[in-house]
Amino acid sequence: MNRKLLIILDYRKMLYSKVNAINSSGINLKLLIKLLKKKFNKILVRSFEDSFEDIKGNEWYIIYQSSEDRGQYYKSYIEDIVYIL
């Protein structure tokens, strides 16, 4: 089975599970990719500002960072990208 995974990083090139916590740190991306390579044939890492023209959403599993954001501006931007995919 050809399983593909797209990991989308935020504007800081990080992947967070929660961004509004005090002293929050990003997910260890190298370890995550190492573990997920056992389940996925292809893993791409991109940022929200990158192009997604070559990605067809129905062919990919997608992991993206929390859309929590003070002021909610970044949240709506993230949601727009994810809905398009």
- Model pTM score: 0.76
Predicted confidence at residue 22, as pLDDT, reads: 52
Q: Using the 8-state DSSP alphabet, how is residue 1 labeled? A: -
- The pLDDT tens digits for 6-15 are 998 877 787 7
Residues 36 and 49: their CA atoms lie apart, in Å, by 24
Taking the chain, what is the end-to-end CA distance rounded to the nearest angstrom? 21
